[in-house]
Structure 1
Amino acid sequence: MSYPDPAYGPPQPERPRRLRRGLLTVALAALVPGALLGWVAYEAAGSSGGDPERAAAPPSAGGPAQPKESPPPSSGSPDRDGGRPSTPASSTPSSSAPAVSGPLKGKVVVIDPGHNPGNFRHTAEINRKVDVGTHVKECDTTGTATNDGYTEARFTLDLAHRLRALLEAQGATVKLTHDNGSPPWGPCVDERARIGNAARADAAVSLHADGSAPGNRGFHVILPGAVHAGAADTRPIVAASRELGERIAGNLVRATGQGPSNYIGNGTGLVTRKDLGGLNLSTVPKVFVECGNMRDSKDAALLTSGDWRQKAAEGISEGIVEFLKS
């Protein structure tokens, strides 16, 4: 079942500041390599935040899993281990750093950070309906958040930055569907699929966190079912997407020590869906990763940890690498 939409709006990732000329430029230039080395540090199950692109989860006996229309959190949203914020990436969704030599040279990966920190300011835009092949649904939603206000949009963007760094280090060309406030809201779920299609991605991964009931824990990976309706035809990508999802699930367990979801997927960590526009409209192998349940205190403690996010990024990256090299 779908959960109600909270309207959270965290601060945008900090934009790079312009360096002054002269001695300040030299001093900062000397510090940058060390900062970047320190940064390459890390951080996937139900229908959270009323998200039209999420998995269904059992209802809580105590009522709705999430509050409605909560105010945007302050800039003090928790990151409990004091982990560094993710580094701002390119200002356009489709751009990427030049690929380096490595085992993934020539491979293209599209990372889709679920939601957008600016969505709460653009409710009319994200509530408009778009065609996802089998039906119409909302363009996007605000996503969910922990009880302490750490938002899903902030989580997915940080995880995307960590994942991108790991994949680019192996030579892949990595494109994000949105980044650093560009665009200021969305993109819509249909456009997110088109970005991966236009890039002719060898793999596409949409990152999320769930908003299920307390006690529901663990990650799951959502796979596309066989759909052939309207503009949707997933039949050519079903098998490859399953392989991608299986490899990511296995490596997430290994890297994080976190087990698969205890409330969806029958303990496999894998769920097949036929109603998600981001999957239905994809023409390239694609999965959604629900990294954990933000409404469970134990899962929330993991999701708000920079060290854990780095482990999650490593597990997802290794799953993608295995898939691309198979």
Structure 2
Amino acid sequence: MSHRKPSRPLAVLAVLALALAGCASPAATPAGGSPTPGRAGDGPLAGITVAIDPGHNGGNAEHPEVIDAQVDVITKKKPCDTTGTETDDGYAEHAFNWDVAARLRELLEAQGATVLMTRADDNGVGPCITDRTATTNKADVAVSIHADGGSKEGHGFHIMEPVLIKGHTDDIVQPSHELALAIRDAYQDGTGLSPANYIGDHGINPRDDMGGLNLSEVPKVMVECGNMRNKGDADKLTDPGWRQRAAQSLAAGITAFLKR
């Protein structure tokens, strides 16, 4: 059976006229180990709930008995979670994902959005992709943040989007594609990073094997913000100023999608 997320009333979308602006510092790490909603407020995104899924987690490598457990993602069985990649200098993907997610959360909350995070810090284990998606399905739109571990010769970002799986993703394929396009354009403009030259088509990469996409009931994409194994990309990903621009670009893409 297809699961349809109720459409956001046009009256709410009509208020999304103000552009994101300014520069924000990373949000403080929330206390506790479970996902918690961010603060809602006044602004162009008031009434909208956005879910942010920072990929992986800082404690995953020490607990293979947890993250290696197999879960059903409709098209196959996959590990509950993974450890992620890192740069040649040892900057871990899970830390990058958390940092950008915290920055993005603060930017969206400043615009009045309610923000759901799939994990509360960068010190825990998991949660499983099934649990992450259960959290993101409570939102109006969702973005999962990652950094790739491709070949050293490959560079650039790409955005994974869901494909049609009858009875599961029927309602989200088209809006997720529109979200992917909006984020791609904003991300390229805002960060100066080009779409990946080693995967995807002009920065868009449809996938049928990603649990976070297959199980989603709301428009959702997974953004590989750059290739950690490429020196040029790694230099950007390890720069706090560039990570702020990445967060601002993601926020701008999400807002552009919601304004359509």
The CA deviation at 1:134 is 1.5
Counterpart residue identity of residue 224, structure 1: P
Alpha-carbon distance in structure 1 between the residues aligned to 2:122 and 2:185: 32
The CA deviation at 1:91 is 2.7
Counterpart residue identity of residue 115, structure 1: H
Conservation of the 8 A alpha-carbon contact between 2:35 and 2:120: no
Counterpart residue identity of residue 230, structure 2: D
SS of the residue 1:205 aligns to: strand
With over 3 angstroms needed to count, the CA separation of the structure-2 counterparts of 1:39 and 1:246, relative to structure 1, is closer
With over 3 angstroms needed to count, the CA separation of the structure-2 counterparts of 1:86 and 1:213, relative to structure 1, is farther
With over 3 angstroms needed to count, the CA separation of the structure-2 counterparts of 1:156 and 1:106, relative to structure 1, is same
Match of 2:145 in 1: 207
The CA deviation at 1:92 is 4.7
Alpha-carbon distance in structure 2 between the residues aligned to 1:145 and 1:86: 23
Matched, 1:225 2:163: yes
Write the mapping of 1:110-149 to structure 2, written as runs, cut at 5 A: 110-149=51-90
Counterpart residue identity of residue 151, structure 2: A
Conservation of the 8 A alpha-carbon contact between 1:243 and 1:323: yes
For normalisation by structure 1, the TM-score amounts to 0.71
Q: Deviations over 1:252-310 (max 9, x none)?
A: 011111111011123x1101001111000000110000000101111000000000000
Alignment RMSD, CA only?
1.6
Write the mapping of 1:272-311 to structure 2, written as runs, cut at 5 A: 272-311=206-245
Conservation of the 8 A alpha-carbon contact between 1:91 and 1:181: no
Match of 2:129 in 1: 189
Matched, 1:244 2:179: yes
Alpha-carbon distance in structure 2 between the residues aligned to 1:104 and 1:86: 18
Match of 1:17 in 2: none
Alpha-carbon distance in structure 1 between the residues aligned to 2:153 and 2:75: 33
Write the mapping of 1:43-192 to structure 2, written as runs, cut at 5 A: 87-181=28-122, 184-192=124-132
Larger Rg computed on CA atoms: 1
Q: How many residues align?
A: 239
Uncovered stretches (5+) of structure 2, i.e. residues with no partner: 1-21
Conservation of the 8 A alpha-carbon contact between 2:156 and 2:197: yes
Match of 1:258 in 2: 193
Match of 1:8 in 2: none
Alpha-carbon distance in structure 1 between the residues aligned to 2:251 and 2:64: 33
The CA deviation at 1:242 is 0.5
When structure 1 is superposed on structure 2, of 208-217 and 95-104 the one drifting more is: 95-104
The CA deviation at 1:89 is 2.5
% identity of equivalent residues: 49
Conservation of the 8 A alpha-carbon contact between 1:89 and 1:161: no
Conservation of the 8 A alpha-carbon contact between 2:24 and 2:103: yes
Alpha-carbon distance in structure 2 between the residues aligned to 1:216 and 1:135: 28
Q: Deviations over 1:231-263 (max 9, x none)?
A: xx0111000000111000000011111111011
Q: Deviations over 1:165-189 (max 9, x none)?
A: 000000000010002257x211111
Alpha-carbon distance in structure 2 between the residues aligned to 1:282 and 1:209: 21
Counterpart residue identity of residue 158, structure 2: H
* Runs of 4+ in structure 1 over 6 Å off: none
SS of the residue 1:171 aligns to: coil
Alpha-carbon distance in structure 2 between the residues aligned to 1:227 and 1:96: 29
Conservation of the 8 A alpha-carbon contact between 1:202 and 1:324: no
